[in-house]
Amino acid sequence: MLGDSANMPLLGQLAYQSANLDDFRRYMSSSYCEHRIYRKGGGKAVDARHHRAPLKTMSLNYLQYGADVEIYPGFFETFYMIEMPVTGWTELEHCRQTIRNQCGTAAIISPTERVSSTWSADCGQRMVKISRTALESRLCEMIGRAVTDPLVFDPHIDFGSRDGRSIELLCNFLFEQHQMDPGLMGDLRVSQELERALMTTLLVAQPHNYSELLRINGVGVLPRHVRKAIEYIEQNLQEEIPMKSLIAVSNVSARALYTGFERFVGAPPQVYIRNRRLEGAYQRLLSADTSETVSDIATQWGFSHLGRFSADYKRRFGELPSETLKR
């Protein structure tokens, strides 16, 4: 069991507590999404509590169970969740990865990817729940077009990195500011700006399947011929893309197109196409079923030479495609 509630985050924002696991499961299912919770070793006794501070498109939360539990929510569907243990640990199965999460580390759960977790009895977590609609809308604003595939993050947030530290500091600020002055955080003019800052930082700092597009848009307004070529590439990523087609849609010379990509994208068209296809293959490998092979997926994404694909893939993601497939 956990200690005195006086040191828990969001003190004064208790939403629910229960000593019965079934009772607390019903509450959590109605508050978040339908899921199953089991106490390891059997029994129903818990010391469960949920603190919640709603904002506009987010909520700040603290959650504990006070027992060793296994949780199977399936898919969150309508929201993302940043999970940051303050005591104890969790072990997440998400995006075909096993993530050990404890104080000083964090994870982000994407709504369209299956998740399950194990919590230690002494685990208490700060959590930031973010509306899927709001985060994907912010992404649309930043890339300048509609989101065609679900936004999926790399689930592990590395607080030891510069980018991860930026996410941690913003989350810490939200919790500390709410504890210090909940009235100010209740002002929509304040909470909307802080929410926007966290969403923008997440999208820029945490790797996801739109990171390459976001990086390109971050360099400024793209010239029309570069933008037209990129739009064509994105619409035909799994098809053959000859240079003559890019020249035709961009309506400039081959030299002007190359120069534009080098200046505004940071790489020639062929390298951009290869990187985007590698990202597509990576996401497919993460979600592939047991009947699919690396060769199948490489072919789907336009890679005909498996050895070259594997070498390029390892340079970009730090592991072989077969290793991603086994996660």
The reported pLDDT for the residue numbered 232 is 94
The CATH number assigned to the domain with range 5-210 reads 2.60.120.10
Domain residue ranges of the chain, discontinuous segments joined by +:
5-210, 212-325
pLDDT at 96: 87
Rounded average pLDDT per 10-residue block, the chain, 327 residues: 67 93 94 91 92 94 97 93 97 92 94 95 97 88 75 93 94 93 84 93 94 73 87 91 95 95 84 88 80 91 91 82 82
CATH assignment of 212-325?
1.10.10.60
Look at phi and psi of residue 42 and say left if phi exceeds 0, alpha if psi is from -120 to 50, else beta.
left
- Alpha carbon dihedral 244, 233, 213, 196, in 10-degree steps, equals 130
Q: Between the CA of residue 319 and those of 66, 217, 273, 315, what are the distances in Å? A: 37, 27, 20, 8
pTM tops 0.75, yes or no: no
| 224-235 helix and 254-264 helix, angle to the nearest 10 degrees | 90
Q: Which residues contact 163 (CB under 8 A, 6 or more apart)?
A: 204, 205, 206
For 18, 25, 272, the CA distances from 238, given in Å and listed in that order, are 52, 43, 14
> At 231, phi and psi to the nearest 5?
-60, -45
The three-class DSSP label of residue 249 is helix
pLDDT of residue 149: 81
What's the confidence (pLDDT) of residue 220? 58
Distances (CA, A) of 276 to 181, 193, 207, 208: 44, 32, 14, 12
